[in-house]
Structure 1
């Protein structure tokens, strides 16, 4: 009986130590940064097509434009020289809205083409989980998914 109690105490101590090591850091998404060829051209897109509000860079450095996605999340545009690479649709920024129809009307008024993941123009993907989604590209060719996920 004493061996069973000692084993239970040892297991309890081991479990508690593992739980302490597996602590949560309570991460929150802060920002998404992308390198762009022309920061002003890209900023125009994020301001007028996505209607994001610009917030000043804390050091007011040239070549940086920051936009607010929500209260705690931003997208940072950084103008720098970089090696070109394929912008695959699987690598994308995803934004959620509950007014996808209004957004699509806005995109059409700006002559911005949207498509589904398969590449069908002006097509909304109706996922099996009830979420609708579309994809657009910014001036640098980065893919942006816009969906109706409820957070």
Structure 2
């Protein structure tokens, strides 16, 4: 009986210790806040992200004509900053946004005349990932790749 009670107390103590360690880790782990893109023409890029991706602009503290902040989700922002910079046009380096219905979004792109393609660049038919998610890709005015998918 004493051994069983001792084992139970020991297991409860280990479990509580693991829970406390997990809580301490979660307090230390960073939480994603924003992404920033360097762009050549702030006005052109702001128009693209507001019109094509339908992102809302939020106030930014700079008010210098070189920064636009956009909301990309609850508590999340995309900061676009006008500077002279090297831009990656590698498709493996991309932003990704999910939409409720991919066909509705591609219709929106068609109406705006915005080019898009599948992953392989072989046409407009969405790529079907192994997990069942459909995806397309488009580029912003600076050539950054953006994936749009229907992940839930």
2:57–2:71 CA contact under 8 A, matched in 1: yes
| Aligned-partner SS, 2:116 | coil
Equivalent-residue separation in structure 1 for 2:90 and 2:19 (angstroms):
39
Unpaired stretches in structure 1, ≥5 consecutive residues: 1-11
2:49 to 17, 24, 46: 46
Runs of 4+ in 1 over 6 A off after TM superposition: 12-19
Structure 2 length as normaliser, TM-score? 0.81
**Size of the alignment, in residue pairs?**
149
**Structure 2 partner of 1:126:** 128
**Structure 1 partner of 2:99:** 97
1:30 and 2:33 aligned: yes
Give the structure with the larger helix fraction.
Answer: 2
Shift of 1:121: 2.3
1:37–1:140 CA contact under 8 A, matched in 2: yes
Q: CA RMSD in A?
A: 2.5
1:106 and 2:108 aligned: yes
Unpaired stretches in structure 2, ≥5 consecutive residues: 1-11
Report the CA distance shift for 1:65/1:91 in structure 2 as closer, same or farther (over 3 A): same
Shift of 1:18: 7.6
Equivalent-residue separation in structure 1 for 2:88 and 2:100 (angstroms):
30
